[in-house]
Amino acid sequence: MKNKILTGLASLMLMFSISTLKADVNVGASFMVGELDTSGSETEITDLGGATDKNTKSFSETFLGASVFLEFVADNGLALGIDYVPVDVDIGDGKRTDVTTDSNESSSDSGDYSASASLEDLITIYANIPLGGNGFYALAGYHTVDVTTSETLPSSSYGNVDINGYQVGLGKKGDNYKFEFFYSDFEDISLTATGGKAAHKIDADADAMGIKLSFFY
């Protein structure tokens, strides 16, 4: 996570040095509320015969979050910043029980299955692009985030993965605050369980929308 933040800061400083040589620096905190929607499927492929069993599920949850940010603001109002969310956001969970009844299935993979996933260490590099001189701006951002899983499987486990995404939105800026509406879309998530005689694969997609209130100095 530390390396991600340092890389983001270096990229941010490089971009701003190209766009302007004079800028104000703002440091602040944000509070947000929104809805996270996740849809996905789990596919099991047995080691004998290649038989498959597929389960699909959708997950929708209202979330509350907070973040801290650092941004550089040019004389023309253009702002480039980096935002870090220190809290985790759940993106789905599920449970089921498998009982081996087919000779093609592996008995070692029978039992109770439960798995959950969350987004951790969400970092966003963003731009606030002025829309006239009344404080309104367009928001464009690039996400990087860790998808961390927690599971109870009879003989296998899923790993973790880093994914990217983008963010767009509209905002209004005042003397020491910003108010934004945002939409975020993350790239497809693909995880494969290892260690068992049957292969278990999860494919999922997540997106979010919400509002954010920020204060800075």
- Domain residues for 131? 2-216
Amino acid at 23: A
pLDDT of residue 24: 84
Cβ–Cβ under 8 Å, residues 179 and 213: yes
Distance of CA 88 to the CA centre of its chain: 10
pLDDT of residue 149: 75
CA proximity to 77, closest of 3, 178, 168: 178
pTM of the predicted model over 0.85: no
pLDDT of residue 58: 81
pLDDT of residue 18: 43
* Alpha-carbon gap, residue 179 to 172, rounded angstroms: 5
pLDDT of residue 23: 72
DSSP state of 161: E
pLDDT of residue 75: 84
pLDDT of residue 49: 52
Strand partners, 43: 54, 201
Residue 3 sits at φ, ψ, to 5 deg, of -65, -35
Distances (CA, A) of 26 to 76, 85, 94, 129, 201: 15, 17, 42, 16, 43
Residue 151 CA neighbour count, 13 Å, CB half: 24
CATH of the domain at 61: 2.40.160
* Alpha-carbon gap, residue 202 to 191, rounded angstroms: 5
Distances (CA, A) of 170 to 2, 112, 138, 205: 29, 45, 5, 24
DSSP state of 159: -
Domains held by the chain: number: 1
pLDDT of residue 8: 52
pLDDT of residue 118: 77
Helix residue ranges per DSSP H, the chain: 2-19
Token pair belonging to 39: 């849809």
Strand partners, 145: 163
Identify the segments of the chain with pLDDT beneath 70.
Answer: 1-22, 45-53, 91-116, 151-157, 194-199
